[in-house]
Structures are given as structure tokens and as C-alpha cells.
Amino acid sequence: DTYRNHSIGFVFQSYNLIPHQTVLQNVELALTLSGVSKAERKKRAVQALEKVGLGDQLHKKPNQMSGGQMQRVAIARALATNPSLLLLDEPAAGMNEGESEELSQIIRNIRVDHPQIAILVIDHHMDVIMNVCDRLTVINFGKQLATGLPEEIQANEDVIEAYLGAGD
């Protein structure tokens, strides 16, 4: 538990936000579990929310936000702990195209601003993955179809056809 709380940031497709708490409190909660002092929790939570473009939404409740905004809160919560590994489980699930592109841009920004963080994205949406990953492994029903750079995967018609034929 200690290793996970201090080293891994999780972003779930269902957000896992506490509905009766504000956005700021939701982000601070992850830091509470890591034993960070109250003053430091607030500072880091505000900084993380600003990084994902929600610095002006600190006192909103999750039910006052769109799905894309709630996912950004989840990303801020994961980033606030200063993880060495960021795991994103289908982060674009339920998002429209605009929200999905915003999410892709946030992930690209994290890669630039925090090169020490390893980012693992698991998603069914090939367009999201192609836009944010350096390296891909395509797995279909437990079978590895390909591993390589995004452009190599995109050029592999057999992989794309198998991926598209698999559905969700």
C-alpha cells in the first residue's frame, strides 16, 4: 500500500471521485493517504488542478462537471502524489471527440513537463493511444499482435484490420 500510494498514480475510466466533496478535496484525499501535511496537500492539489486546466473549478462538486472535467480531476489527483508511474485505464471512455482531444493534450503535456514519470495507457480507442504514446503494444483477446512505434503500428494493415474487426 505504501509503495502504491507514493509511487503509482491511477486514473480510472469511472473517475472514482467522491460526490459530496469538492474537486480540491478529491485531489487532496490522495495526498492524505500518503501522509502529506495539510498545507502541502492544498498547495500540491491546487498546482495539479491548474496543470489540467481546472484551477478555477476548485470548489465545484463532481456532479457540476462534465465527464472530461471529472477525468481531469482524476488525473490531477494522480499527479499530485508525484508518482513515478501513471496508469490510465481507458481514460477517454465516455468522452466526446473534443474532450478526448483535450485529454490527449494533457497527457502529452505531462510527458513533456514530467519526463521522469512513466505513463501506461490502456485503451480501446486507437486514436487516443496514437496521439499520446511513444511505443505501443497491441493486444487482442490476450494475443500480442504488434509492438512498436505508433507509425509502425499504423502502417501494419493486419494489426489495424484485426483491431478494427475486434470491436470493443
| pLDDT above 60 (res 166) | no
Burial of 41 from C-beta contacts in 10 A (0-12 / 13-18 / 19+): buried
pTM: 0.86
Q: Which helix (H) or strand (E) segment is 15 a member of?
A: none
Which residues make Cβ contacts (< 8 Å) with residue 122, sequence separation at least 6? 87, 88, 89, 90
DSSP letters for 46-102: HHHHHHTT-TT-TT--GGGS-HHHHHHHHHHHHHHT--SEEEEESTTTT--HHHHHH
| pLDDT above 90 (res 45) | yes
The mean pLDDT of the chain is 88
pLDDT tens digits, 142-157: 888 888 988 888 888 7
Q: Which helix (H) or strand (E) segment is 40 a member of?
A: helix 38-51
